[in-house]
Amino acid sequence: MALNRDFVGRTFEASAPYEVSRTKIREFAAAIGDDNPIYRDKDAAVAAGHPDVIAPPTFPIVFSLSGAGQGISDPGLGLNYAMVVHGEQRFEYRRPIYAGDELVCTSTITEIRSVGRNEFLTIRSDVTSTSGELVCQTYNTIVERGGAA
């Protein structure tokens, strides 16, 4: 079943700011097998010019879709999540993410299109500090296999 194009342009906000902790950054770095001290040791991060340990480039995947979840699980959209694979992903940074950041995430469905038998849905998430500073934007494209058939 084709996805409901009325969802393009809808915006979803995460229910609460995401608190970035040193512990979570360390856990994520361990999971990707990266032993860079800048992810673990505040002194090493400060020596590299950062205020605290920083997060790996793909870290925002941990929290950036928390708001969009309510949108893509809305039955009105018509997405069969069992058929979903990840199509594309992009992170665009204004500055690194630091331990101690409290980040507000607002997600917008920017595009739904059919390619062959598949449906492509793109979500842009704007990640800002609680004071409104834009930290990064993420672009997530998921593919519903067979959705356009």
Q: What is the rounded CA–CA span in Å between residue 130 and residue 96?
A: 15
Closest distance of CB 127 from another protein, Å: 14
Nearest to 64 by CA among 31, 102, 105: 105
Pick 4 or 113: Cβ nearer another protein: 113
The dihedral built from the CA positions of residue 8, 10, 14 and 18, taken in this order, carries a sign that is: positive
Closest distance of CB 87 from another protein, Å: 6
Closest distance of CB 51 from another protein, Å: 11
- Cα 111 to Cα 28, 53, 89, distances in angstroms: 30, 35, 14
Closest distance of CB 109 from another protein, Å: 18
Q: Write down the residue that tokens 């940074």 correspond to.
A: 93
Pick 6 or 30: Cβ nearer another protein: 30
Output the furthest CA–CA distance in the chain (Å, rounded): 55
Pick 9 or 51: Cβ nearer another protein: 51
Pick 6 or 146: Cβ nearer another protein: 146
Using CB under 8 A as the criterion, which residues of the chain lie in contact with another protein when the complex forms? Answer: 24, 27-28, 30-34, 36, 38-39, 48-50, 54, 56-58, 61-62, 82, 85-93, 95-96, 139
Nearest to 121 by CA among 41, 9, 39, 24: 9
